[in-house]
Structure 1
């Protein structure tokens, strides 16, 4: 166990040093694909299953540590089945959406960042139609082009649909 811990610590040290030395070589603009998973919370978890999404994101470095970010994706949350106490059953509707996010990312250290995004969500079909707003604070790690982020995202229209998300992507 001790050797595994030492190996992981050495690996993280090498990554931090590589990221630090390559910081000057990174471009000011990057774009790339990502995948994400959403785990519904509150009332949203009662009606829908875990969601999955795919999208493309871009970022532009503004000043030291501060970056403007944006993304567009397609998200799908399957509906759950419900059986009432009297034996009647029905299915909740699937949620299909296209979130468009804009925001700012701030690097706390070379590879660790915090991010705040806002934007709109276009519901695409089923019982959910129209446009709503969204907010998505998050924290992540970016090593060279690999970007992994944990976030909470909330969509606002008739009701709030919130979920914890995990996002992984690669920027070129």
Structure 2
């Protein structure tokens, strides 16, 4: 799992350093901010989470695109529960049902960090989004699965160069 995460991180970072003059048609990269509201038993122990990162998108033919992101996400714990901190690495596929509206499915790994960090969780994240010029807004449900599921509804806003 760590080898996959390292390769994913190197891929996203490599895309970040692509020369600006290359101007690959249909390619975008940029920062994003996100929030997540825990649901189910996850909401019993944690409050709203906040995160930031960098994402990339490569447009493909037939209304499809490939996407990837790496970031940092933190959920504050209730009373004596330590905060849950992670570095999520996600890859996915986008289907544009209409010119500005899309459906998205992502998978990846949430690598836990900080005090009491214990490995990684598998990520599944379906969602729907709107792309207006260089701005991207998305609503999703994201599940981090390890020994049980930590699920949350999320909102994500990004800007692609």
Which TM-score tier does this pair reach, normalised by the shorter chain? Answer: 0.7 to 0.9
For structure 1, list consecutive stretches of 5 or more residues without a partner in the other structure: 1-25, 82-90
Kindly report the root-mean-square deviation, in angstroms, between the aligned alpha carbons of the 2 structures. Answer: 1.2
1:65 corresponding residue in structure 2: 63
TM-score w.r.t. length of structure 1: 0.78
1:4 corresponding residue in structure 2: none
1:43 corresponding residue in structure 2: 41
Say whether 1:164 aligns with 2:132: no
Question: In structure 2, which of residues 87, 90, 108 is the aligned counterpart of residue 119 of structure 1?
Answer: 108
Question: How far apart are residue 166 of structure 1 and its match?
Answer: 0.2
Question: How far apart are residue 127 of structure 1 and its match?
Answer: 2.6
Question: How far apart are residue 27 of structure 1 and its match?
Answer: 3.3
Q: What do residues 4-40 of structure 1 show as CA deviations (whole Å, max 9, x unaligned)?
A: xxxxxxxxxxxxxxxxxxxxxx931100000000000
Q: What do residues 57-80 of structure 1 show as CA deviations (whole Å, max 9, x unaligned)?
A: 001111131000000010000001
Q: Helix, strand or coil for the counterpart of 2:114? A: coil
Say whether 1:33 aligns with 2:31: yes
Q: CA separation in 1, counterparts of 2:78 and 2:113?
A: 18
Q: Helix, strand or coil for the counterpart of 1:128? A: coil
Question: How far apart are residue 132 of structure 1 and its match?
Answer: 1.5
For structure 2, list consecutive stretches of 5 or more residues without a partner in the other structure: 1-23
Q: CA separation in 2, counterparts of 1:101 and 1:144?
A: 23
Q: Helix, strand or coil for the counterpart of 1:75? A: strand
TM-score w.r.t. length of structure 2: 0.83
